[in-house]
Structure 1
Amino acid sequence: MFNPLSTRKRLLATTVLCGAIAPMAIAMPAFAQTAPAAAEAVQVEEIVVTGSRIARPDLVSSSPVATVGDKELKQSGVVNTENLLNTLPQAVPGITSTVNNGSNGTATVNLRGLGSNRTLVLVDGKRQTPTTQAGSVDLNLIPPALIKRIEVVSGGGSAVYGSDAVAGVVNFILKNDFEGMEVSAGYQATDDGEAPIYSGDVTFGANFADRKGNVVLSLGYNKREALTQGERGGMLSRAWGDNATRTGLVPSGSGSIEPGRVDPFVAGRFITLPGVANLAANSGFFLNDGGIRLYNSANDTYNFAPVNYVQTPQERFSVTSLASYEIKPGLTAYAKGNFVSSRVVTQLAPTPVGNRIFRFSLDNNPFLTAAAKTALNSMGSSTAYSIPASSPWATGTYTDVDTDGDGLFETVTGVFNKRLSDVGPRVSSFNFTGFQVQLGLKGDIEAINGGFDSYFQYGNTAGSNSLLGDTSLVRIQQGLLLNAAGTACADPSGGCVPVNIFGQGTMSAAAANFIKTRINSSQDYEQLYAGFTISGDTENMFSLPAGPIGFAVGGEYRAEDFSFNPSQDLATGNLTGFNASPPVSGRFDVYEAYAEVLVPLLKDLPFVKSLDLELAGRVSDYTTQPDPVETYKVAGTWKPFEDLLLRASYNKAIRAPSVGELYAPQSNGFPTATDNCSARATPNAATRQACINSGVAASAVGVINANQQTQTLSGGNPNLRPEEGKTITYGFAYTPSWLPNFSITGDYFSIEITDAIASFGGSASNVMNVCYGALVNGNPSSPYCQAIRRLANGSIDFISLTAQNVATVKTEGFDVGVTYRTTLEDLGLPDWGSLSFRSLYTNTWESTTTPDEISTPIKCADKFGTRCGNPTPRHKLRSAVNWKFNQFGMNLVWNHLDDVNDDAPATKYTVERIGAKNYWDLSGDWEVNDNVAFTGGVKNLTQEAYPILGGNASPSNSGYPAAYDVLGRTFFINARLRY
């Protein structure tokens, strides 16, 4: 909940609101820019386009704007808007319905691949309340039935909208003037009838008081059914790895296996196995009869794929109400209220015990054979050793002893890897409810040929998460230590039952119930947001030779409060299969003032049809920062002649650190990252020497058994500064008079973020690559090598990462947009209707992150993999052709993704390149009459194959399901009733 505002803050907030309401007494005719006669001929509508608060046509905006309309949403058959947004060339996929491992139950949009927290999400030009501690917005909380259009501006927008608009702005424009009733119902599924999605919406709208007022009420529901990799079958039904020569995929999986295995913990110790050399790297594989043999990483891995979701199930309800009323001519009050409830479930394989240190009873253990006890006895040590604090369930200093003198230690310590299938799969249920209430007053100001808009908004997103199928590390440790007779736990408190983790299916139901733990958490994000804008021009006061100066000024106050409250086991990391998530709470306030002007410099001169200068600036005073932060925009447009517009802009944008980045305590994670010194990484001679230099025993280098995932510890930093982004765009818009209804735009973009907030070193992979690379060469005094904490047996315990202002991020490229509308008759064909064509293309030739001053830049343009994550194709294209004849229409969409290469040149994988992908979607419309309409279609018509990868796959679904279609051909149908 919000902390009470101080008296000073209350007074300041009240001042902002009073300033917003004051202009209401000056209600006059509405402001509109007058379009020239030529523009009237082609009916160019002047509107306030996202990226500015001054009205202008789309094609004369100083910033490139991409628009997705209501018709396109219907023709695509989407139920979740992020799936359509992610096909735009400007976007790199965020979290979608096909992301299972890595999903937090939200849906996000990620412009230019700079991160969802650097993409500002607006609804009707005003902020949507965030959901996560990172400040990201869950698109599930925006009602799709009421979306009129979506406007996307890529590039800095902080001078106009404030923090977070570093990569750009996505603005959802709602239908606020709806009249009548519309009922729609939809269904989609794969061509095998799998992964069905059901949706239904009812929208009512009515005018009243002689059309002075309008009210809209929309109710929505959708249900998305689950589909697992096992149900889908084929190559998706199992995990894949690379063969020894990295020339082919072979069945693979996790080293945390159902029978379980153990490695020695104490340095220099080993497992004694018949016919096997005594090496510290030997791992013991448990047999179901209590015996033990040598673990074979090529054949003994666990197939974790079948139970993972290909499509995560969801159920969503939404209620949205909009209202407006003209109090008197030129003065309108408006209100909005919406409530959304969304539940998303993810499912992973049974919980793994991965590289966990446990002490266990040996001599008196009834679950082990005599031969197994002898084999494991050589892991023990009569010299004192310590278990680090990173394993708090077993931490301490120990000396193994043989009390009865039979040659066997009573208790020894090992590093275990086991899959606890006895407790079932890990299931996370994410439940989010969000509501937002908005009140506003807008009106006209005749003196400035413009008007004002004042608003107050309160939003809250509350979430809860229940995690099933995990176990307590403390209880496993308790159940492994037995009494002298081996019949019960040495510590019987809490109903302890002896735990048999030696073999597959050997654990009793009582033991499984004892170690199970149900994990719960709740979170709450509140946002208070108020402001006012006054816009108009100077025509009634003065004008320049080229016309009056347009302007917009205003102020905003925003307070954000986030709290995350986990259950004790989740907070402390007393878990085997989920990351530790300590409690987080914090808040910040910001007071802002901004101004924007549009100055016409020249007009109607030779080669200067118009020349305009646009300036914008904002000052933001954050309670978390010692000094105010300034952002600004300088932009200009030049029309040499009526058909051609040239435009350029420079933006300085910011992203203030989020609550989580400021206040999150340390927690652990398990990203995909392979130990460079391990057998899995097959280190070359230079890497081997670097590993030895860093302190890894020469006998362990190249033979350490490592998983594909590495534990990390990361956390917040209250001393973080805002990120700073500098955006340059320049381009053109050409609308030839000799070819009516045709336009082409082209824009260069460059975005560079300095002081970017990132975990130290950028990622676990990068920290290891730097430590064991040529630059550091394993120097143990380097902060990179010091960040890698290893156990006594040489395997990695964790990598320490913290948030710092150390990174630099840069992306650069070019956008092209083409639209054309015509009739078949104009093309010399029979009069069989009209054609329209629209194409958006992006060439991204740079997408680079430099984690800090010492690190080698990570270049991700044309790349994918363990460092870059989701693919960033250099060439992306979305083209659509629509044919309309009377009440019938057809729509064909082509989405093209260029080929991409693996991002780790020093490591070879079987799949080093993912070839270009072409997705074809076909849909049809039938307007039966004014009241009834149908839309149906097929997505991925040609069944473009999903790329299956080995060691360089993302943690989810053997590849990159957010970027590439994993479901295959999908059919959809939607019916609408209107009156």
Structure 2
Amino acid sequence: MASTAVLAALIAVPAAAQQAPMPSSTDGSIANSAAALQDGPQADSSDTIVVTGSRIRRAGLDNAAPVAEITSQAITDRGFITAADALNNLPSNAPVLNQADGSGNSSGPGYQAPNLFNLGPGRTLTLFNGRRMVTSGSGIGAGDGVGNAFVDANIIPLGLLDRVEVYQGGGAAVYGSDAIAGVVNYIVKKDFAGLELDAQNGISSRGDYATHSLRATAGRNFGDGRGNVAIDLGYSKSPTLMFSARPLSNLGRLTVSNSADTGPADGIPAVKEIFNAAFWPFNANGVIFTRPAPVQPFLARSGGNALQFAPDGSVVPYNTGAIQGIPFASGGDGFKYQALAGLRTGVERYTANLVGHYDLTDHLTLSTELLYARTTGTEIPQGNSYTTLNAGSYSGPIAFTIANPFLTAQARTLLSGASAAFASGAPLYLSKYFYDLTPSNDQTTRTDTYRAALALNGDFDVGSRNFYWSLAGSYARVDGAQRSWQVVNNRFQNAISAVASGGQIVCAINADATVANDDAACAPINPFGDGNVSAAARNYVSTRAGIDWKNEQVDLLATLGGTVARLPMGNADFSIAYEHRDERARFDPLAANRAGSFGTGVRQIAQSGAYNTDEASAELIVPLVGKDFTLPLVRLLEATGAFRYVDNSYAGHQNVWDLGLRWEVVRGVTLRGSRSRNFRAPTLTQLLAPSSSGLNSTGFDPCDADRIASGPNPAQRRASCLALFTANPGYGVDADGTGVGLSADARLARFQDPSENFQRATVTTGGNTALRNEISNTWTYGILLQPRFVPGLTISADRIEIDLRDGLSAFTTADFAAACYDDPDPAAGVCSAFTRLATSDGLSPGGTIVTGTTTTFNAGVIRYRGENYVIDYQFAPGDLLGGGDLGRLQLTAAATHTTLLTTSVTGTTFARTDGTYLSPTWVGRFNAAWSKGPLRLTYQLQYRDRTAAGANVSIETTPNPVLARNIVHDVSAQVDIGTVALRLGVDNLTDKDPSYPQIAYGDILGRRFYAGARIKLN
């Protein structure tokens, strides 16, 4: 039975990678579990290893920066079915939950990537056995709008996973791009032998959210122990979930303008809560209007009652609910707000992993890895709506007359009585949300990941010094496909216009006198009621839409390491490395996307590209004090250094470095610190995303009269805009000539840019080939205590500070405008990213933004300050109680304290999110694990601090400015009788809801049970 020592890894104690864990018959020592393809071969003796954060073999697990660990035993204890589940338990990791936020947006494509310190998934590097992996997503309409490079944790096979090491704070000098916040390294078992079959099922206390996991792992040694091969096959599935499935998310809560608010300092919130929120201008049956505008006077009425269609197509009274403005109401028959999209994305996963190695000689080892993973995420985005809210666009309301053959006799009679104009042939307007217009409302994102790696590792001696080397290469590819059903705009217009002809209902285009517009495939749509669209009409108007993408990576790595010199204080060790990497990406929109046949009509363009990078790095560890050479209060002093030179074919040259110091004051008291410069290179998506243009609104215009006194520097904004209006006398002059002859100051004071809210500008979206690397400076410093008078006790505290500049930011037209006018010396290309009307075009005033850009730009700034704390105590209770075997107990508390997280997209306007639910001040875990013989019991408490509901909120801005602290309890039990091991667990034991009203601050799934079994055969 495994020791309880491994439980510390569950909550990612930084100390865990600083000392070897207690012996475990299940896991073995960390020193002996390094992966076969870890960069550089493993040492011949079991007391030297490679730890994430360095390629130098160490005689111990000491590091100048904090390294956390998650073991395979910890994953089993908690019943995790994916590596993402385990990462989401790290206090320093901001969980990615595949969950909608309640704003109406969908729950995402199912990706779950590490996000250390909430700096963004693209700023945490993922490794597999110490080597880079190919990015999972396309970044284009597939869940990652800024094109970040990330590796989906769902693709990691669990059967052969030995542990996960998490280096916190930098790492780019050793591993290259993306290691800003840190590095996550998945390390597989090296010498697995035997057969293991594992199965687990889970279900919530409400009888839903059933999860399943199956794994088969087999391995054997051969060649008299010189070789080993192992394979792991896995399957797991978690389902979609709707908002209506949980009480908190089913409240239908929204905030709307509060008429009781009298001013900015009255203690009355500017908004108020409503519940059972609904869109009163439309529903799934169809709300009837006399004019195509979402205002109450235009609701069709009979006998004073507003009207709607019933599911069968008859006309019945419509209850608008308590209208709160446009478009929301509380209660009534409108479309329920919580039904807009799904709550959770369902993910199905297939994984396969083969690892093998063979010692060709005593000093030469050949290793290989093969990995395949298919993940399919299913989300439920918003459906197809044709409503008065979108009048004048492709998704405006549906006009119908008394001649429509799908109207029932009852509907004709009632509507004719309600509207004499309708009885005479004038149209009414149907405002409706369709559930049945396409074969499915689901959107799926499937990725197939392939990876093959081969390495030749060796070592040799020169005198008394040992050197080790590695030549390794890998090829990896991701084939991705996003799919959804969309409605073809022109076909919908054909099918919605139905007439009676020859005793049948047909499309009007096939019954008119014009033969040229006939379409034999056209099948008319019955829009009245719900569920009345025929299969033929559905097939006619629907098209398969989406994008295919392919990411490819070829990585070649050569390393050499060993001892430079044997000093009285210890060995001075080094590692040098050369890496060449080719990255390629291709984006292929489907035919409907290329044609722009649905939605706003934007045409997507296929594009492909590639870059390569050549990188050289060197590391050195030099003991300054130690062994036979010590000083008072200096038992050990060790300096580390790393340097990396990067030559990227797009982003150019970059030098990054890392300096560290470890000082053992006395035995059991160690101080440590590091200072590093790290970088992230732009991805192919950010560089080469296909360009597309279409009419759109631009967002806030800084020169608009409503915005001119806002921003980080209102005086600078006003001065910039005034200079603009002075140089352009047509700016601020309306279509009717109002404003002609006024001073620039007067024209500016009355300027209103209609492109803020209306689709007046042609906005181009795409990549930016002029991007540079983003750069961060990182400091870590901390203390590690292992008092000799309390065996088994480890205490650590580490401070982490990260400053990032030139951040790769997703820039909209509004962002470019703000950066242009708020900065006295704006960066090149900022002010030319948009243009304005020189004079009125007869509709909009001069100065209106008429072209804009949405792309990635180097302007972001991030500042992070925080600490990681860990107390870990493992002991035998019997030793403290006078003897007797009472098993072993481990108690661990770990926490991340965030004191500052401020971000800026533009580099001029900053937002602090520390102390909010996105980055709470304190996140903690407490674990207790007891084991004796075959029995193992575990308990975990997850803690989230009392926090603000958002940035800069108060009772003046929201009725709920503070979220209560959130505590969740989990328990599990495992019995291991040798061949068979059984486990049971309960997550969220007390069925604790997230902290009201935020559905993501806590566990929305509620109480869940799981049961699993593992069969082990030798």
For the pair 1:759 / 2:782, whether they are aligned, the reply is no
State whether residues 50 and 152 of structure 1, in contact with CA within 8 Å, keep that contact through their aligned partners in structure 2: yes
For the pair 1:114 / 2:123, whether they are aligned, the reply is no
| 1:805 match | 858
| 1:818 match | 871
Among 165, 168, 171, which residue is 1:151 paired with?
165
| 2:53 match | 51
After superposition, the Cα gap between the structure-2 partners of 1:257 and 1:687, relative to the gap in structure 1 and judged at 3 Å, is farther
User: CA shift at 1:173, angstroms?
Assistant: 0.8
State whether residues 767 and 856 of structure 2, in contact with CA within 8 Å, keep that contact through their aligned partners in structure 1: yes
Among 659, 663, 668, which residue is 1:643 paired with?
668
Among 174, 180, 184, which residue is 2:198 paired with?
184
After superposition, the Cα gap between the structure-2 partners of 1:711 and 1:646, relative to the gap in structure 1 and judged at 3 Å, is farther
Show CA shifts across 1:291-349 (max 9, x none). 99999633375225348444433332222111111111121111111222222222234
After superposition, the Cα gap between the structure-2 partners of 1:260 and 1:477, relative to the gap in structure 1 and judged at 3 Å, is farther
User: Take 1:811 and 1:444, find their aligned partners in 2: how far apart are those partners?
Assistant: 41
State whether residues 876 and 897 of structure 1, in contact with CA within 8 Å, keep that contact through their aligned partners in structure 2: yes
For the pair 1:913 / 2:962, whether they are aligned, the reply is yes
> Quick one: which amino acid aligns to residue 893 of structure 1?
Q
Among 905, 928, 934, which residue is 1:881 paired with?
928
User: Take 2:991 and 2:443, find their aligned partners in 1: how far apart are those partners?
Assistant: 31
After superposition, the Cα gap between the structure-2 partners of 1:832 and 1:407, relative to the gap in structure 1 and judged at 3 Å, is closer
| 1:653 match | 678
| 1:167 match | 181
Q: Secondary structure at the match of 1:661?
A: helix
User: CA shift at 1:808, angstroms?
Assistant: 0.7
After superposition, the Cα gap between the structure-2 partners of 1:50 and 1:285, relative to the gap in structure 1 and judged at 3 Å, is farther
User: CA shift at 1:162, angstroms?
Assistant: 0.6
User: CA shift at 1:181, angstroms?
Assistant: 1.5
TM-score by length of 2: 0.75
After superposition, the Cα gap between the structure-2 partners of 1:648 and 1:513, relative to the gap in structure 1 and judged at 3 Å, is same
State whether residues 42 and 49 of structure 2, in contact with CA within 8 Å, keep that contact through their aligned partners in structure 1: no
User: CA shift at 1:633, angstroms?
Assistant: 0.7
State whether residues 687 and 773 of structure 1, in contact with CA within 8 Å, keep that contact through their aligned partners in structure 2: no
After superposition, the Cα gap between the structure-2 partners of 1:274 and 1:814, relative to the gap in structure 1 and judged at 3 Å, is closer
User: CA shift at 1:366, angstroms?
Assistant: 3.8
| 2:787 match | 736
State whether residues 290 and 298 of structure 2, in contact with CA within 8 Å, keep that contact through their aligned partners in structure 1: no
State whether residues 973 and 984 of structure 2, in contact with CA within 8 Å, keep that contact through their aligned partners in structure 1: yes
After superposition, the Cα gap between the structure-2 partners of 1:306 and 1:330, relative to the gap in structure 1 and judged at 3 Å, is same
For the pair 1:446 / 2:461, whether they are aligned, the reply is yes
User: CA shift at 1:976, angstroms?
Assistant: 1.1
> Quick one: which amino acid aligns to residue 463 of structure 1?
G
Q: Secondary structure at the match of 1:720?
A: coil
| 1:130 match | 135
Identity over aligned residues, as a percent?
25
User: Take 1:796 and 1:483, find their aligned partners in 2: how far apart are those partners?
Assistant: 43
Q: Secondary structure at the match of 2:984?
A: strand
After superposition, the Cα gap between the structure-2 partners of 1:306 and 1:552, relative to the gap in structure 1 and judged at 3 Å, is same
User: CA shift at 1:239, angstroms?
Assistant: 3.3
State whether residues 715 and 801 of structure 1, in contact with CA within 8 Å, keep that contact through their aligned partners in structure 2: yes
For the pair 1:357 / 2:404, whether they are aligned, the reply is no
After superposition, the Cα gap between the structure-2 partners of 1:213 and 1:166, relative to the gap in structure 1 and judged at 3 Å, is same
User: Take 1:705 and 1:834, find their aligned partners in 2: how far apart are those partners?
Assistant: 65
For the pair 1:427 / 2:442, whether they are aligned, the reply is yes
User: CA shift at 1:446, angstroms?
Assistant: 1.2
State whether residues 352 and 577 of structure 1, in contact with CA within 8 Å, keep that contact through their aligned partners in structure 2: no
State whether residues 271 and 375 of structure 1, in contact with CA within 8 Å, keep that contact through their aligned partners in structure 2: no
After superposition, the Cα gap between the structure-2 partners of 1:838 and 1:275, relative to the gap in structure 1 and judged at 3 Å, is closer
User: CA shift at 1:153, angstroms?
Assistant: 1.0
Q: Which moved more, 1:122-131 or 1:543-552?
A: 543-552
Q: Which moved more, 1:575-584 or 1:801-810?
A: 575-584
**Structure 2: 5+ residue runs without aligned partners?**
1-39, 139-146, 259-270, 301-305, 405-411, 722-730, 736-748, 825-829
> Quick one: which amino acid aligns to residue 111 of structure 1?
L
State whether residues 43 and 49 of structure 2, in contact with CA within 8 Å, keep that contact through their aligned partners in structure 1: no
User: Take 1:215 and 1:357, find their aligned partners in 2: how far apart are those partners?
Assistant: 61
| 2:990 match | 942
User: Take 1:792 and 1:825, find their aligned partners in 2: how far apart are those partners?
Assistant: 85
| 1:65 match | 67
User: CA shift at 1:838, angstroms?
Assistant: 2.1
| 2:359 match | 326
User: Take 1:731 and 1:263, find their aligned partners in 2: how far apart are those partners?
Assistant: 70
After superposition, the Cα gap between the structure-2 partners of 1:816 and 1:320, relative to the gap in structure 1 and judged at 3 Å, is same
After superposition, the Cα gap between the structure-2 partners of 1:166 and 1:196, relative to the gap in structure 1 and judged at 3 Å, is same
After superposition, the Cα gap between the structure-2 partners of 1:947 and 1:705, relative to the gap in structure 1 and judged at 3 Å, is farther
Show CA shifts across 1:63-82 (max 9, x none). 10011111111011010221
Alignment of 1:823-834 (within 5 A): 823-828=876-881, 831-834=885-888
For the pair 1:228 / 2:242, whether they are aligned, the reply is yes
User: Take 2:833 and 2:287, find their aligned partners in 1: how far apart are those partners?
Assistant: 32
| 2:488 match | 472
User: CA shift at 1:571, angstroms?
Assistant: 4.0
After superposition, the Cα gap between the structure-2 partners of 1:529 and 1:365, relative to the gap in structure 1 and judged at 3 Å, is farther
User: Take 2:222 and 2:670, find their aligned partners in 1: how far apart are those partners?
Assistant: 43
Alignment of 1:210-221 (within 5 A): 210-221=224-235
State whether residues 170 and 180 of structure 2, in contact with CA within 8 Å, keep that contact through their aligned partners in structure 1: yes
User: CA shift at 1:892, angstroms?
Assistant: 0.7
After superposition, the Cα gap between the structure-2 partners of 1:223 and 1:773, relative to the gap in structure 1 and judged at 3 Å, is same
Q: Secondary structure at the match of 1:83?
A: helix
User: CA shift at 1:352, angstroms?
Assistant: 3.1
For the pair 1:966 / 2:1004, whether they are aligned, the reply is yes
| 1:845 match | 899
| 1:317 match | 350
> Quick one: which amino acid aligns to residue 488 of structure 2?
S
After superposition, the Cα gap between the structure-2 partners of 1:261 and 1:68, relative to the gap in structure 1 and judged at 3 Å, is farther
Q: Secondary structure at the match of 2:190?
A: coil
User: CA shift at 1:700, angstroms?
Assistant: 14
> Quick one: which amino acid aligns to residue 600 of structure 1?
P
User: Take 1:798 and 1:187, find their aligned partners in 2: how far apart are those partners?
Assistant: 54
Among 363, 370, 378, which residue is 1:337 paired with?
370
| 2:625 match | 602
After superposition, the Cα gap between the structure-2 partners of 1:263 and 1:628, relative to the gap in structure 1 and judged at 3 Å, is farther
Length, aligned pairs only: 861
Alignment of 1:649-688 (within 5 A): 649-666=674-691
After superposition, the Cα gap between the structure-2 partners of 1:901 and 1:484, relative to the gap in structure 1 and judged at 3 Å, is same
State whether residues 878 and 896 of structure 1, in contact with CA within 8 Å, keep that contact through their aligned partners in structure 2: yes
After superposition, the Cα gap between the structure-2 partners of 1:711 and 1:74, relative to the gap in structure 1 and judged at 3 Å, is farther
Pairwise CA RMSD: 4.8
State whether residues 66 and 153 of structure 1, in contact with CA within 8 Å, keep that contact through their aligned partners in structure 2: yes
User: Take 1:591 and 1:685, find their aligned partners in 2: how far apart are those partners?
Assistant: 47
| 1:463 match | 480
After superposition, the Cα gap between the structure-2 partners of 1:705 and 1:330, relative to the gap in structure 1 and judged at 3 Å, is closer
User: Take 1:270 and 1:221, find their aligned partners in 2: how far apart are those partners?
Assistant: 49
User: CA shift at 1:684, angstroms?
Assistant: 12
State whether residues 553 and 581 of structure 2, in contact with CA within 8 Å, keep that contact through their aligned partners in structure 1: yes
User: Take 1:579 and 1:148, find their aligned partners in 2: how far apart are those partners?
Assistant: 47
For the pair 1:242 / 2:255, whether they are aligned, the reply is yes
User: CA shift at 1:641, angstroms?
Assistant: 1.5
State whether residues 840 and 877 of structure 1, in contact with CA within 8 Å, keep that contact through their aligned partners in structure 2: yes
User: Take 2:275 and 2:307, find their aligned partners in 1: how far apart are those partners?
Assistant: 21
> Quick one: which amino acid aligns to residue 250 of structure 1?
F
User: Take 1:770 and 1:252, find their aligned partners in 2: how far apart are those partners?
Assistant: 37
User: CA shift at 1:790, angstroms?
Assistant: 14
TM-score by length of 1: 0.78
Q: Secondary structure at the match of 2:878?
A: coil
> Quick one: which amino acid aligns to residue 241 of structure 1?
L
After superposition, the Cα gap between the structure-2 partners of 1:674 and 1:87, relative to the gap in structure 1 and judged at 3 Å, is farther
> Quick one: which amino acid aligns to residue 654 of structure 2?
V
Show CA shifts across 1:684-715 (max 9, x none). 99899999x999999999999999xx999643
User: CA shift at 1:620, angstroms?
Assistant: 1.3
Q: Secondary structure at the match of 1:145?
A: coil
